[in-house]
Structure 1
Amino acid sequence: MTIPTNTLACGLLAVALLIACNQEPDVQRTQSGLDKRDFQTVVNGDSTNLYVICNANGMEVCITNYGGRIVSLMVPDATGAFRDVVQGFANIDGYTTEPSSFGATMGRFANRINNGQFVLDGDTVQLDRNNGAHTIHGGGDGWRGQVFAARQPDDSTLVLTYTSPDGESGFPGEVTASVTFAVNSRNELAINYEAETTAKTIINLTNHSFFNLSGNLAETVLDDILYVNAAGYTPLDSTLITTGEVSPVAGTPFDFTEPVSIRTALARDPANTQLQMASGIDHNFVLNTGGSIDELAARLYAPGSGIVMEVYTDEPGMQVYTGNMLDGSRTGKGNARYGKQTAICLETQHFPDAPNKPQWPTTVLEPGDRYTSTCIYRFSLVK
C-alpha cells in the first residue's frame, strides 16, 4: 500500500498517526488499511485481536496475537510515501484456514530438527514430525498456531506472552515466554525474546516475516541488493537438514559479503546442488558478528523504493530464505498474489538442528536460567 505525501501532508500524517495510536476503541482502521474487527475472533478458546504500535515518524507495525505475527509494517520510501513491506493477510481467516509462517513467532524451536529427535541427558526425546521425517518450527503445535496473551504498555510497545505446556509437540518442560515488539524514533523495530522452563529443554525463537521492501507485495525481490556479514554457511542434505559442516561462502551463490543483487548471486552457479535442493536460498548463515547486537548482520536494499533494512542480532546465525516455496496460490493484502521469490526472510537464530550437532552453539535451557534473544530491524533510505 502506498500513501502519497508532500511536505505538508507528511506533517499532517504524523499528527494523524499520533492520534491513531491513541484512537478510541470504536475507530478500527489502521494506516496500512487493516480493520481490527477482521482479526477479532476466538481460536481454541482464546480471543484474537490486532494491535498497533507506531512512532512519531509515521512508522506503524500491526501485530496479531494469533501466532505472534507481524501483519503489516509501514515505513516511508524515498519519495515520502509510506509502504507496507511485509506479506500477510487482511483478516484472521487468512492465517487460520491454511497453515503458514507469514510474520509468525517461531517456537518452541525455529527451523528443522532431524527425524524429530534429539538426546537430552541420555534420553531420546521424540517430537511431532510435521515436515516429512523431520520437525519444523516447533511441530504441529508450534507457536505460530497459538494465541498469545497481549499487553500494550504504551503506543510504541506490545508484549505478547505464551505458556507452552510440558510435552507440547513432545518438548519437555513447561516454558513461559514473552516476545516484546517495540518501535523507536530511529525507525527500528526491536523484537526481544525471553523464556524460562520448569525442566531442561531446548529453545530457539525467531520471527518469520516475509519482507518485500518495494511495497509491491507481488513483485519479485530478485533485484534487491543483499549484504550478509557471514563468511560461512551451513549446507544441507537432500532432506534440507544441516549436515553439521560450515562451508565458506566465497565463490558460491551464498557469498553476500559484498552487496549484490539476489538475482546476480543466484546466477553465479544455477546448477549448484545446494540451490537445486532448496529451489533457491534457504540456508543458515554463520554470522561474523560474535553475538554483538551492535554489529551489522545484514543489509537489504530495494532500488525501486529506496528503502533499506538493516538487521542486528545477538544470535550466531541467520536463515536467509528467498521465498522459494511461494507458488502464487495465496492472495494477501491488496489482492497481491504471493508468487515464487516475491519475499525474503531474514530470521535470526541458533543453527538448525543444533540439538543434534554438539559442535555448534547450544540451544539447551536449564531451569533457573533465562533464555534471551534480540533482533532489530532498522529502516532507512537511499535517495
Structure 2
Amino acid sequence: MKRLCMAVMAMCMLLSCGEKKEEATLSGLMKSDFVSEVDGKPTALYVLKNKNGAEACVTNYGGRLVSVMVPDKNGKMTDVVLGYGNIADYVASSGNFGALIGRYGNRIAQGKFTLDGTEYELPHNDNGHCLHGGDKGFHAVMWDAKQINDQSVELSRVFPDGDAGFPGNLDVKVIYTLTDDNAVDIKYEATTDKPTVVNLTNHSYFNLSGVPGSDILDEEIMINADNYTPVDSLLIPVSEIAPVENTPLDLRQPVAIGAHIDESFDQLVKGRGYDLNWVLNTNGDINVLAAKAYSPTSGIALEVYTNEPGIQFYTGNFMDGKDKGKQGTVYPHRGAFCLETQHYPDSPNQPSFPSVVLRPGEKYTSHCIYKFVVNK
C-alpha cells in the first residue's frame, strides 16, 4: 500500500512538472485572457520584444495596442499606454483604447460626403456626424494577424464596398514593429477598386508618468505647428486654417498640459480641453519631429514622427473615471492624452484641405512612429 501511494505521488509530481505554467507578459498580461472568439474569428494577444527588453502587446480585435513597456529614468520598465487586461473588456467597451481607426479617422460633417458626383451616407454616431468610421469602424472588428518575427506583427483585412457607407472594396494592411530604439513603428497601406476616402490612425491613450490612475496635467507637450484648424461647437472644422500665435494653442515650445487647458479660449471650451487638429510644419517628412510629450515624474519622453499633414491632440476630456483598466486601475478624467497622426477632420467636405481621395491603381500609405526616450 505504501509503495502504491509513493507511486501515485511520483506520478502526480511528473504530471505537474509536465504542465508548464503560463507566464505573464512584462506588462502583467496573460495571453489566455485574450483567447476568445469575435464574429466567428479567434482573438489573440501578440507580444513584441526588442533587444533592449522593451515590450509591446497587440490584439487582433480592433488592431489595438494593449501595452507598451519602456524604461523610465531609473531603468524601471513602465507601461505607457492605457488599456484592458482581457479581450472581454475591449469588446464590451465603446472606447478606442489603442485602436486602429478607419476608414476615416476623426469627423465627417453630417455623416456624408460627395465624391465624383455621388453622395455617400455614413453612420451618424457623434452628434449627427460620423466619427472614426462609425461604431463598427476598424476599432471594433477582427483583423487577420500574422506575427512576422519577434518584433513585428502584420494585420490585414478587406472591407467590402458599402461597409459603413463607404465606397469601394478596401484592402488594408497595417504593420506594428517594436524597433531596437524603443519605438512603436506603424505602417499603413490600402488599395481600392473604386474611388473612396481614407484616413487611418492609431488611437492610443498615453500616460508617461508610470503612476497608475494619475492624470496627465503635469506632463509636457510640444507640437511643431504654426497653425491649426478651428472648429464649430460640434468640433467640425470651419474651413479655415488659423495661427496658434498668441493663443493657448501655441505649443511650439514645451508647456505643461494643464497650464492652459481650462482657459476660457473658445476652442478649448468647445472641446472641454485640447481636442483639435494641428497643421504640422513637417511637410510630410518622417524624419522631422512632429510632437513631443514628456513626464517629469518618470523622465519618459514620447517623440512622434509622421508623414501625415496633421495631428490631433486630445487630452482625455471625456474620460469620466468609470473605466477600470489593466491591473484594476481606474482611469480618471484627463488620465491620458492622444496624438493621432492624420489628414485633417472633414477633409472629404473641405476642398481646401489636402485630399483624402484614394482611386483604383493608387496605394494609400501612412507612417507613424511613437518613439520613447529618457530625459534624465
Same fold (TM over 0.5): yes
Counterparts of 2:123 and 2:285, CA distance in 1:
34
- Alignment of 1:235 onto 2:230: yes
Deviation at 1:98, TM superposition (A): 2.2
Q: List gaps (5 residues or longer) in structure 2.
A: 1-18
Question: Match for residue 288 of structure 2?
Answer: 295
Contact 2:84 2:90 survives alignment (8 Å): yes
Larger gyration radius, structure 1 or structure 2: 2
Give the alignment partner of residue 347 of structure 1, picking from 317, 340, 357.
340
Contact 1:54 1:60 survives alignment (8 Å): yes
4+ residue segments displaced more than 4 Å: none
Assess, with a 3 A threshold, how the Cα gap between structure 1 residues 244 and 52 changes in structure 2: closer, same or farther. Answer: same
Counterparts of 2:160 and 2:219, CA distance in 1:
41
Question: Match for residue 132 of structure 2?
Answer: 137
Question: Match for residue 157 of structure 1?
Answer: 152
DSSP 3-state at the match of 1:375: strand
1:110-129 matches, cutoff 5 A: 110-129=105-124
Q: Give the letter aligned to residue 107 of structure 2.
A: R
Contact 1:141 1:168 survives alignment (8 Å): no
Contact 1:311 1:377 survives alignment (8 Å): yes
Deviation at 1:217, TM superposition (A): 3.6
Q: Give the letter aligned to residue 308 of structure 1.
A: A
Question: Match for residue 324 of structure 1?
Answer: 317
Give the alignment partner of residue 209 of structure 2, picking from 209, 214, 221.
214
Over the aligned positions, Cα root-mean-square deviation in angstroms equals 1.3
Question: Match for residue 36 of structure 1?
Answer: 31
Question: Match for residue 66 of structure 1?
Answer: 61
The size of the alignment, in residue pairs, is: 358
Counterparts of 2:231 and 2:333, CA distance in 1:
21
DSSP 3-state at the match of 1:276: helix
Counterparts of 1:61 and 1:230, CA distance in 2:
29
Deviation at 1:34, TM superposition (A): 0.2
TM-score, normalization by structure 2: 0.93
State the percentage of identical aligned residues. 47
Question: Match for residue 382 of structure 1?
Answer: 375
Counterparts of 2:344 and 2:320, CA distance in 1:
27
DSSP 3-state at the match of 1:355: helix
DSSP 3-state at the match of 2:369: strand
Assess, with a 3 A threshold, how the Cα gap between structure 1 residues 26 and 355 changes in structure 2: closer, same or farther. Answer: farther
Deviation at 1:25, TM superposition (A): 9.6
Deviation at 1:344, TM superposition (A): 0.4
Deviations 1:112-143 (A, max 9, x none): 00001111001111111111210000112201
1:1-383 matches, cutoff 5 A: 27-266=22-261, 270-383=263-376
DSSP 3-state at the match of 2:313: strand
Q: List gaps (5 residues or longer) in structure 1.
A: 1-23
Deviation at 1:27, TM superposition (A): 3.9
TM-score, normalization by structure 1: 0.92
Contact 1:85 1:217 survives alignment (8 Å): no
